[in-house]
């Protein structure tokens, strides 16, 4: 009898741990019940949600810093949904890739400009003639 009671309790706890939490409706405590979402990330999700509900996973990944394709997949497996849907990986992956390429291009451009300006000042030349 005790075994059956213990098993039923274990099953109930397991089902509760994987209950769906929708990013559009969840409270801060609900979001933090998803494995991997802490106070900082739940605050970012709630802040982004103030400007409107998330249309889907791609929208969530785009609007909330710190959530990429990998985290989205893990959060979905832990029970997070967006607009009632689980992560499928195809919707947000192109947007995440394009954003990463754009970020890299912007950083490379800034690094190139910084390199040009550092070496373009003739008064700082290392080969300045010594005075006689």
Digit-coded pLDDT (tens) for 63-105 = 999 999 999 999 999 999 999 999 998 654 454 455 555 555 5
Which residue reads 């959060």 in tokens? Answer: 75
CA 23 to chain centre: 13
Q: Tell me the CB-side half-sphere exposure of residue 115, using CA atoms within 13 A.
A: 6
CB count, 10 Å around CB of 73? 17
Looking at residue 108, its pLDDT comes to: 53
Looking at residue 128, its pLDDT comes to: 52
Nearest to 17 by CA among 36, 45, 44: 36
125 belongs to a structural domain: no
pLDDT digits (tens, 9 = 90+) for 99-125: 555 555 555 555 555 555 555 555 554
3 belongs to a structural domain: no
Domain that holds residue 80: 17-106
7 belongs to a structural domain: no
Whole-model pTM over 0.85: no
């Amino acid at each position: 009898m005790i075994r059956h009671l213990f098993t039923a309790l274990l099953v109930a706890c397991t089902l509760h741990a994987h209950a769906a939490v929708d990013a559009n409706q969840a409270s801060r405590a609900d979001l933090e019940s998803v494995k991997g979402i802490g106070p900082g990330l739940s605050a970012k999700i709630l802040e982004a949600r103030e400007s409107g509900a998330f249309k889907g996973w791609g929208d969530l990944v785009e609007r909330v810093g710190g959530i990429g394709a990998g985290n989205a997949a893990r959060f979905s497996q832990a029970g997070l949904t967006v607009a009632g849907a689980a992560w499928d990986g195809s919707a947000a992956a192109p947007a995440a890739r394009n954003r990463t390429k754009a970020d890299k291009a912007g950083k490379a451009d800034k690094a190139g400009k910084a390199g040009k300006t550092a070496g373009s000042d003739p008064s700082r030349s290392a080969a300045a003639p010594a005075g006689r």
